[in-house]
Amino acid sequence: MLFLCTGNACRSQMAEGWAKELASDLIKIKSACIEIHGKNQYAINTMAEVGIDISAQESIRVNGEMLEWSDVLVTLCDNAEEQCPVVNAHIVKLHLPIADPAKIKGTEKEILAEFCEARDKIKSRVEYVLEKIAASH
């Protein structure tokens, strides 16, 4: 399973963390981006609050090899959906957009609240995808 968003700094990295936590070793999971944005400390801290360490994950640009490897591609933003390279017919593609928490401006408390909300929405989307996969087997 491959999660794709614009920068692979927040949403897709959080999704990768949730999927690895919720699916155990049953599914191989990666995340990638359209353009590299590096790591986001808010995403790392927010996931750590729920016991998931994503600090070792890197922002990686999507490539043809990843798309060949993947059976399921989940885009987490409209930009990733629009910019995603063409995928093979064997890949199940799901578009489950979430607002980019890194774009929020405000106080530290407001930014953290936005990241927590995104984290929880991403968990719900990952659970949905895992349920769909389980139902198809």
99: closest CA among 82, 119, 84, 85? Answer: 119
Burial 61-98 (b: 16+ CB within 10 A, else e): ebeeebbeebebbbbbbebbbeebeeeeeeeeebebbb
Q: Which of 10, 33, 77, 116 is catalytic?
A: 77
5 is a catalytic site residue: yes
Q: Which of 5, 10, 33, 116 is catalytic?
A: 5
Type of residue at 109: K
Q: Which of 10, 33, 84, 116 is catalytic?
A: 84
Positions annotated as catalytic residues are 5, 77, 84
